[in-house]
Amino acid sequence: MTATVITPDEGGARALREALGRYATGVTIVTAQSPEGPVGMTANSFTSVSLDPPLVLWCPARSSGRFPAFAAASHYAIHVLAADQLDLCRRFAREGRDFAGLGDKVTPEGAPALPGCLARFDCAAHAAHEGGDHAILVGQVLRAEMRAGDPLIFWGGRYGDFLHQA
């Protein structure tokens, strides 16, 4: 099997994006309360940073119309999506203000709490770093909630779940 070698300068952003798409990720929705009301955003750029103190990060695009709300939020909730939540994923990838039919549960800090997710991390904004066309937002985990189930996976520009487990 022959590998294709690219550099960001020669292959362009599309080729680099395709190479990055070889890494499978989970899918999250991050929610917060903004001056205009609740806001949500689908994101696959989520990872743990530290257990002591408990820190996680995610990276919203600066070009998003929702970016200012998250950059200014003192608290937010990160929801790990289950395999059966593709519709919810797509809803918040398109538009971040449609919470219709999702109930009115909120975290103690006021961020919308979405139903049926595999995990939720309630966070206080801890740090923000430059990250090119994205920002790197680090949150301190105040509490976490989880349930059993299969995750929604994003790989190669497609969504899915595990067919086989090893």
Domain boundaries, the chain: 26-154
pLDDT at 17: 81
Residue 42 in contact with residue 31, Cβ under 8 Å? no
Give me the torsion for CA of 58, 92, 83, 164, rounded to 10°.
-60
pLDDT at 22: 85
pLDDT at 166: 54
CATH architecture, range 26-154: Roll (2.30)
pLDDT at 33: 97
- Total Cβ atoms within 10 A of residue 69: 23
Report pTM. Answer: 0.92
Cβ contacts of 12 within 8 Å, gap of 6 or more: none
pLDDT at 125: 98
pLDDT at 28: 98
Give the chain's residues under pLDDT 50: none
pLDDT at 117: 98
Place of tokens 């294709």: 4
